[in-house]
Amino acid sequence: MQTNSTITVRQATPDDAGALITVLVEAFLDGPVADWLVPDRNDRRAVYSRYFELIFKHGLRHGRVDTTSDLSAIAIWYSRDEAPLAGAPDHYYEVEKATGKYAPKFLLLDAIFETHHPLAPHDYLAYVAVDPRHQGRGVGSALLATAHQTLDGVNRAAYLEASNARNRDLYLRLGYRQGAPIHLPTQGPLIWRMWRGQPTDGTPAPFPTDLLPRRRPL
Ligand SMILES: CC(C)(COP(=O)(O)OP(=O)(O)OC[C@H]1O[C@@H](n2cnc3c(N)ncnc32)[C@H](O)[C@@H]1OP(=O)(O)O)[C@@H](O)C(=O)NCCC(=O)NCCS
15 domain residue, yes or no: yes
Class of residue 166 by CB neighbours under 10 A (exposed 0-12, middle 13-18, buried 19+): exposed
- What is the CATH number for 176? 3.40.630.30
Look at residue 4 and tell me whether its pLDDT is greater than 70: no
AA identity, residue 203: T
Ligand 1 atom closest to Cα of residue 129: 39
- The answer to whether the beta carbons of residues 20 and 71 sit under 8 Å apart is yes
Q: How many domains is the chain partitioned into structurally?
A: 1
A 10 A CB-CB count for 10 gives 16
Pocket residues for ligand 1 (CB within 6 Å)?
Answer: 27-28, 128-130, 135-141, 162-163, 166-167, 169-170
- The answer to whether the beta carbons of residues 93 and 127 sit under 8 Å apart is no
213 domain residue, yes or no: no
- The answer to whether the beta carbons of residues 90 and 125 sit under 8 Å apart is no
Q: 91 falls in which pLDDT band (50, 70, 90)?
A: confident
Angle between helices 89-99 and 103-115 (to 10 degrees): 140
206 domain residue, yes or no: no
CA 179 to chain centre: 16
- Average of pLDDT values for 22-33? 97
205 domain residue, yes or no: no
- Parent domain of 163: 2-196
- pLDDT confidence of residue 217: 47
Alpha carbons 9 and 142: distance in angstroms, whole number: 9
- Average of pLDDT values for 151-169? 95
Q: 81 falls in which pLDDT band (50, 70, 90)?
A: confident
Q: Could you tell me the distance, in angstroms and rounded to a whole number, from the CA of residue 167 to the centre of ligand 1?
A: 6
Look at residue 212 and tell me whether its pLDDT is greater than 90: no
Look at residue 89 and tell me whether its pLDDT is greater than 90: no
211 domain residue, yes or no: no
Alpha carbons 189 and 186: distance in angstroms, whole number: 9
Q: 207 falls in which pLDDT band (50, 70, 90)?
A: confident
